[in-house]
Amino acid sequence: MLLVSGCIAQYPQTIFEPHSDYADDLWGLLQKILIPAAIVFVLVEGALVYALIKFRQRPEHGRPQQVHGHTVLEIGWTIAPAVVLAFIAVPTVETIFKTQAPAPESALHVHVIGHQFWWEFQYPDLGVTTANEVWVPVNQTVNLQETSADVIHSFWIPAMGGKRDVVPNHVNNIWFTPSGTGTFLGQCSEFCGASHANMRARLMSVSPEDFQKWVQDQKTPVGQPPDNAPDTVKHGATLVAPCAGCHTIEGNPLNGNQKVGPNLSHVGSRTTFAAGVFELNKDNLHHWVQNAPSMKPGIKMPAFPNINDADADAIADYLLSLK
Q: Where does this chain bind ligand CUA (CB under 6 A)? A: 114, 117, 153, 188, 190-192, 196, 199
Is residue 120 helix, strand or coil? strand
Identity of the residue, 87 or 278, whose beta carbon is nearer to ligand CUA in the bound complex: 278
Task: Write down the least CB distance from residue 298 to ligand CUA, Å.
Answer: 11
Alpha-carbon distances of 258 from 68, 199, 245, rounded to whole Å:
75, 21, 6
Task: Write down the least CB distance from residue 190 to ligand CUA, Å.
Answer: 5
Identity of the residue, 132 or 141, whose beta carbon is nearer to ligand CUA in the bound complex: 132
Task: Write down the least CB distance from residue 112 to ligand CUA, Å.
Answer: 11
Describe the crossing of helices 309-321 and 282-291 by its angle, rounded to 10 degrees: 120
Identity of the residue, 194 or 310, whose beta carbon is nearer to ligand CUA in the bound complex: 194
Residue 292's contacts (CB-CB under 8 Å, 6 or more residues apart) are: 274, 299, 301, 302, 303
Task: Write down the least CB distance from residue 189 to ligand CUA, Å.
Answer: 7
Identity of the residue, 138 or 192, whose beta carbon is nearer to ligand CUA in the bound complex: 192
Identity of the residue, 25 or 190, whose beta carbon is nearer to ligand CUA in the bound complex: 190
For 24-77, the DSSP string reads HHHHHHHHHHHHHHHHHHHHHHHHHHHHHHHT---TT--SPPP----HHHHHHH
Report d(CA 88, CA 82) in Å as an integer: 10
Report d(CA 110, CA 67) in Å as an integer: 65
Report how far Cα 100 is from the mean position of its chain's Cα atoms.
18
Task: Write down the least CB distance from residue 155 to ligand CUA, Å.
Answer: 9
